[in-house]
A and B are shown apart, each in its own frame.
Chain A
């Protein structure tokens, strides 16, 4: 299988195809192939300690922009002034966008953050209309969130597509022997905290577009699907209905419209099938009915097809089918153990894992080409891929046995980031929802 060498193209593609909001011209005088230099002079702040401004805003925004892809954050030899007479000095540092920030905190704890972005290359020392001028408000403690929002807005202004600085990753973490809980962490690795506290085995999270969580918990003994019926609502049992159930249920996956849950249902013979639960009515439709394992359902973005793992032809392989169970066809052709399919947000790619010599690596199948590309080639096992909402990166677990941590990679496999230093992590799901 070929190494994916499209990383650069993935960074550039949105630039080339940039769609700015209709009222604004596309701001892209950076030459193709280079990143846009953006400088962040220290904010003018009132009512907040300098340490807070540094750790909760400046460092957060700087990291967000750096990791967004198309920006190069200018760090060195920055001029003190930001008025038009200083623009040439900024240009000489490599700056194209000069971001000036004012932060005010009222006695009551209300935050106000104002930003202006000037294209100092285009301005040529003259007073010009800012590229971006925006005001953000929030309560105490909202600085990080505002910094993420600024990064996403600048990304949208530059590329026409929404950034992912404000996103988060929901995952499973081992909290003790035989005890796992659902956690979440912000995309920048901050704010890791548990979302469940059952002191039981709780695994396999899925997040709907509106933020509703669903997962499997063994808190009652046998595995059950629990989750939220309304955004922000209490965690309740979603499946199975009370009463005798023949087999166990696993692996819930919200449909893109958040109305249905694909899940895995065991039968009396130890086979497992993909079924779809209509959450409001409780109606269940069986999509597979074969004498084998069917698991790992993942929806396409239209909600009309599912990728899943099945051993119907021997070892585990990735298959596709319609959301009524029709038109089953095998996707993966190489390797003896493929699984964990994850359909990309645009629908054009499917990430999965393939086992070779005792460990897994990430692969991406491009539906348009009908070909697979290998993403990771590490000495560690890399598992459980989940796409970033902008399709630029994949979050996954990797590491030594028993010490799996969360990483993200671009599609070239070249820029690998450790998301957060936490051991015993599994099954990450990347989501825009808060």
Chain B
């Protein structure tokens, strides 16, 4: 077994040796045709050049494609960034008075901005989450959060946003935005939050 294994490399060497040995006489006849030998390079150069041209063309095509891809990605990135920035600029919380679900005058511009954003981005869908401060009961606040979310939803549909693009949820007082226990914190926690779906 070991013998056989050793034999294979040996046979390869022998074969290569024979090949080299067979080629060796060839340069001799070609000796007079030295120019031909010189001319030979152009022949090979032709091939090389062709290959080089092809390579270059391929590389250029690849580079162009890559550049196009990059440009497209950059454009997409820019578009997404703009979308995100627009979304972030538009999707601001609105707030409520204690135990109320009426849209405040000061928040109507925010809801208009959300409606404008949705009109400019026809594929965007948002979820409206209604929240309450900690001062009501758990169960009543879940209902109150539901009512706040629907108040915002109804206002937006009134501004021409398709109802199918708006979903709602209520967290009651279960997910306060801030931990404070003062008037300022309570106002922040009585809100509707708008998030992309």
Contacts and interface: CB of A to CB of B under 8 A. Distances in A.
A221 B139 CA distance: 18
B11 interface: no
A426 interface: yes
Contacts of A360: 137
B116 to A, nearest CB: 24
A402 interface: yes
Contact of A271 (B136, B147, B170): B147
A427 B151 contact: no
B144 A293 contact: yes
B111 interface: no
A383 B101 CA distance: 23
Interface in B105-156: 134-140, 142-144, 146-151, 153-154
Contacts of B149: 270
B140 to A, nearest CB: 5
Contacts, number: 98
Given A201-B174, A203-B174, A401-B134, A270 B139 contact: no
**Interface footprint category on A:** 35 or more
Contacts of A401: 134, 181
A337 B99 contact: yes
Interface residues of B, number: 28
Contact of A264 (B139, B148, B154): B139
Contacts of B140: 293, 295-296, 309, 316, 339-340
B179 interface: yes
B175 interface: yes
A402 B181 contact: yes
16 contacts: A223-B142, A223-B169, A250-B142, A250-B170, A266-B170, A269-B154, A270-B149, A270-B151, A272-B143, A272-B146, A293-B140, A296-B140, A309-B140, A340-B138, A355-B136, A360-B137
Given A266-B150, A316-B137, A337-B136, 13 more contacts: A201-B175, A203-B138, A204-B142, A221-B169, A248-B169, A250-B170, A272-B146, A293-B147, A295-B143, A309-B137, A340-B138, A383-B138, A384-B138
Interface of A: 178, 180, 201, 203-204, 218, 221-223, 247-248, 250-251, 264, 266, 268-272, 293-296, 309, 315-316, 337, 339-340, 353, 355, 358, 360, 383-384, 401-402, 426-427
